[in-house]
Structure 1
Amino acid sequence: MYTTLISAADLAPHIDSPNWAVIDCRHDLADPQAGHAGYAIGHISHALFAHVDTDLSGPKFGADGAFRGRHPLPDRETFIETLRHWGINGDTQVVAYDAHGGMFAARLWWMLRWVGHQQVAVLDGGLAAWQAGGFPMSTEAPIRERGTIMDRGPLVETVSAAEVLQNLAIGARVVIDARAADRFRGENETMDPVGGHIPGAKNRFFKDNLQPDGRFKAAAELKADFAGLVAEPAAAIMQCGSGVTACHNLLALEVAGLPGAALYPGSWSEWSSDPSRPVHTGA
């Protein structure tokens, strides 16, 4: 059972297995159709496609009209139905990949754990590692038998904007922001119309989890990297722009042997939408 990362060489013998499901999570925040276009041109043989905006996200506004962020979590049962449509059962080994260092694949990895599914891993090195190994590609979209996966309850924790706000007063937990440094400082108006970060937050750009070849750093190196940021994983909250790349830091923590941090799904896009919430700019 693979629960964090899997290499291309370890995945290759299983791509024909009916109880393995490979999911292509390629996406482009600036061009929402780019991921599927890339999938149509060529993908890992037998892989299905997951769209970050629709399959891995829910409505941006809640029933009360409140903005929930750019990529809020979907309704749990809706997500379970998506997984069943992909042919996923309770014992299926799922492998998620993208072409962005795991930036989007980690979101699916975390969401499967959110509904209690442990057998999920991210392809280390993504599509580039697969192609470098000379493993089979395809342009065909597979048809899978409907799956039977059930919601077993979360293996991970989430926090709301209200809980993050409450934490500012007591300081019991540290917030780690996965955005690039310019966005964290409030210098990128294209990505963040309201710039800055949650007061007291620390910055850990998700790409800092990777080696130059796009694979994750070794567990010991990741553990050392996070040592100055996270004293106790269970007292840490991971966030980013919209709750997607924060999952990359959560995956890196798992690889490092530091489980237990929570995700703030609404992240900066939700937080900054309410002018009553405090904002800090600069380093």
Structure 2
Amino acid sequence: MYTTLISAAELAEHIEDPRWVVIDCRHDLVNLDAGREGYAIGHIKGAQFVNLETELSGEKRGVDGAFRGRHPLPARAEFVEVLRRLGVNDDTQVVAYDAHGGMYAARLWWMLRWIGHPAVAVLDGGMAAWQSAGLPMDAAVPSRAPGSIEAKPSLVETVDMAAVLANLESGEFTVVDARAPDRFRGENETIDPVGGHIPGAVNRFFKDNLQPDGKFKDPAQLRAELTAVVADPSKAVMQCGSGVTACHNLLALEVAGLPGAALYPGSWSEWSADPSRPVAR
């Protein structure tokens, strides 16, 4: 079972295995059709496509009308139905990939763990690693029988906005922001209407988890770097702009052997939507 990362060579050995499901998670936060268009042009042989906006996210406003962030989690039952449409069963090994250093694939990795499915890994190096190895690509959309996966107790933790707000006083946990340093400082904010960060948060840019070739740094290096940011993962909460790249930091922590951190799904986009909440710059 692969539970964090898988290499292109390892995936290639199982590309015809019916018990494996490969999922293309490519996306663009500006051009929302870019991922599907890229998939239609060419993808890893046998891979299926999921859309971050419609299949890995839920309604942006709650029943009370409050904004929940740009990519709030869907209901667990809704996500299970997405997985069943993709042919995922309880014993399926899932592999997620993208062309962006794992920033979107990590969201799917985390969400499968969220519904209690441990057999999920991110393709290390993504599509670039697959193509550079000369491995088979395809433009066909595969047909799979529906799966029967069931939700199980979650393998991960989440916190909500109220908990993060209370933490401003209690200091119970460390909040780690995965956005680029300039956005963390409140500069060059082009996605959310307000720039800055949650008071008390520290910055760990998700791209710092990667080597120049787009693959993850080795576990020892990640452990050394991440322990400088997170003294105790069980008392840490990962966030970003909308709960996506925070999952990349959560994956890096798992690779480093530092499990236990939680996700704040609403992240900065939820936090900053209410002007009564404090902002640091």
TM over 0.5: yes
What is the number of residues matched between the two proteins?
A: 281
Partner of 1:93: 93
Q: TM-score, normalised by structure 2?
A: 0.99
Partner of 1:55: 55
Matches within 5 A, 1:37-186: 37-186=37-186
CA contact (8 A) 1:183 1:191 kept: no
Task: Work out the CA distance in 2 between the residues paired with 1:236 and 1:170.
Answer: 13
2:213 is equivalent to residue 213 of structure 1 = yes
Partner of 1:242: 242
CA contact (8 A) 1:186 1:192 kept: no
Unpaired runs of 5+ in structure 2? none
Q: Secondary structure at the match of 1:95?
A: strand
User: Shift of the alpha carbon at 1:192?
Assistant: 2.5
The runs of at least 4 consecutive aligned structure 1 residues that moved more than 2 Å come to none
Partner of 1:31: 31
Task: Work out the CA distance in 2 between the residues paired with 1:58 and 1:140.
Answer: 28
1:154 is aligned with what amino acid?
S
1:138 is aligned with what amino acid?
D
- Structure 1 residues 152-174: Cα deviation after superposition (integer angstroms, max 9, x where no partner): 02100000000000111110100
User: Shift of the alpha carbon at 1:15?
Assistant: 1.1
Task: Work out the CA distance in 2 between the residues paired with 1:71 and 1:51.
Answer: 11
Task: Work out the CA distance in 2 between the residues paired with 1:199 and 1:72.
Answer: 21
CA contact (8 A) 1:223 1:253 kept: yes
Deviates further, 224-233 or 185-194: 185-194
- Structure 1 residues 1-50: Cα deviation after superposition (integer angstroms, max 9, x where no partner): 00000000000011111110000000000100000000000000000001
Partner of 2:191: 191
Q: Secondary structure at the match of 1:153?
A: coil
Partner of 2:254: 254
User: Shift of the alpha carbon at 1:189?
Assistant: 3.1
Partner of 2:10: 10
Question: Percent identity at matched positions?
Answer: 70
Task: Work out the CA distance in 2 between the residues paired with 1:254 and 1:189.
Answer: 29
User: Shift of the alpha carbon at 1:190?
Assistant: 1.5
